[in-house]
Amino acid sequence: MTKRSQSLWVTSAVAAFAAVLTTAPANALNGADATTGLNFVAKINVGDKTACTGSLVAEQWVLTAASCFSSAGISTSGKPALTTTVTVGRTDLTQTGGSVQPALALVPHADRDLVLVRLSTRIAGTAVKPVQIASAPATGGEQLTKAGFGRTKTEWVPNKLHAGKFTVASATGTAVNLDGSDTATVCQGDAGGPTLRTVNGVPQLVSVTSRSWQGGCLGIDPAETRTGAVDTRVDDLAGWVKEVVSREKVTPADIDGDGKDDLVLQRIDGSVVVHRNLGTTFGPGTVMSTGWGRFLTGTDMGRLYFADITGDGKADLIVHGTDGNVAVRKNMGTYFDGGTHWSTGWGRFVTGTDMGRLYFADITGDGKADLIVHGTDGNVAVRKNMGTYFDGGT
């Protein structure tokens, strides 16, 4: 491998392929053309530094390559450091269909070139459906279809989605090696694009574009003729996707003190959002606190609870850290205050799988939530709310 070839192999981590679908009319999203079934493919713009491709895999989540963000020099976890815009449901970017949304949060896979991007709102309805994740791996000799918005042989920044056939050369536990052709090659701008298998007329996501040689792409040395690509497998990651998209936690609690439970949403971006109970529906969300992204599952930095600790009729925010401390952040009406320490020694009661779990409810009937300790030994103890701490328990 020459030095020039090594450079191409690495820098094409923000690449995909381009063989233009020229047969689809502008309104193909509503017709039976090939692009109709590909409207789950998303265009991702990361600031003004780079653009990539992705796939809608859940109503509010797009899967793409983590290198799309790392190549721009920003973190692939948490809130995007650069304004990131996602266009989905629009295979022709000059049209007005589909949805254009900001990305709110990034959740990377631990050891693959993949990241899930959370959109600001759900893609509802039947016009744009998330792509299914394949359950079987790619096999040698199999023909698969790649799709992306990347550079072509003649255009720097195409406005239309492109697609082409690739042949599986080999597959490993985490990667798929594919052979392109003179009419199908992976070019800059399509990193994270889907590689698809069609089963009974339904596209299934087999892998995600990671890197390529970019042979034949506009701006690449004409001496580079290799069209092969390396993908990241996703056929074995349906469980991971499901786990991430279900991390957001909903808790009923009376936040405004009107005697009716409101809807409290812990978002994956770390915000605590309250949707007030309006009697027959829940109102729009209001952010009351931020910075709690690592308190969703109880397996990272801790867990949050919502219960009326102060006795004013409004649920407060209770922070149970993996360091064992329990702090109470008082409900101030539109936000929770900075908090005070109430109890310690509960580090092994966060996940519920070690020594037990904690709960908060008014056991004594004084209008203030007490601390309930449920041990894995089967015992339940109540520690009474004493106003600034919980007692030794009974």
**What is the fold of 41-243?**
Thrombin, subunit H (2.40.10)
Q: What is the pLDDT of residue 211?
A: 86
Residue 43 CA to residue 144 CA, distance in Å, equals 20
Three-point CA angle 7, 12, 16, nearest 5°: 160
Give how far Cα 295 sits from Cα of 34, 263, 267, Å.
Answer: 43, 18, 10
Q: Based on the number of CB atoms within 10 Å of its own CB, is 131 exposed (0-12), middle (13-18) or buried (19 or more)?
A: buried
Q: What is the pLDDT of residue 331?
A: 98
Q: Is 234 in contact with 208 (CB distance < 8 Å)?
A: yes
Q: Is 170 in contact with 142 (CB distance < 8 Å)?
A: no
Copy the structure tokens of residue 44.
């991702």
Ordered by start, the domain boundaries in the chain are: 41-243, 248-383
Q: What is the pLDDT of residue 35?
A: 59
Closest CA to 313 of 253, 391, 374: 253
Give how far Cα 31 sits from Cα of 27, 35, 40, 94, 335, Å.
Answer: 7, 9, 15, 17, 48
Facing residues of 327 across strands?
319, 341
Give me the average pLDDT of each 10-residue run along the chain (394 residues).
Answer: 29 33 24 60 90 94 93 77 92 89 90 93 86 96 91 76 91 93 78 94 95 73 80 96 85 96 90 94 94 84 96 98 97 98 96 92 97 96 98 95
Copy the structure tokens of residue 236.
């074995």
Q: Is 384 in contact with 392 (CB distance < 8 Å)?
A: no
Q: What is the pLDDT of residue 270?
A: 87
What is residue 331's DSSP assignment? B
What is residue 182's DSSP assignment? T
Q: Is 192 in contact with 54 (CB distance < 8 Å)?
A: yes
Place of tokens 């502008």: 26
The dihedral formed by the CA atoms of 335, 339, 343 and 344, expressed in degrees to the nearest 10: 110
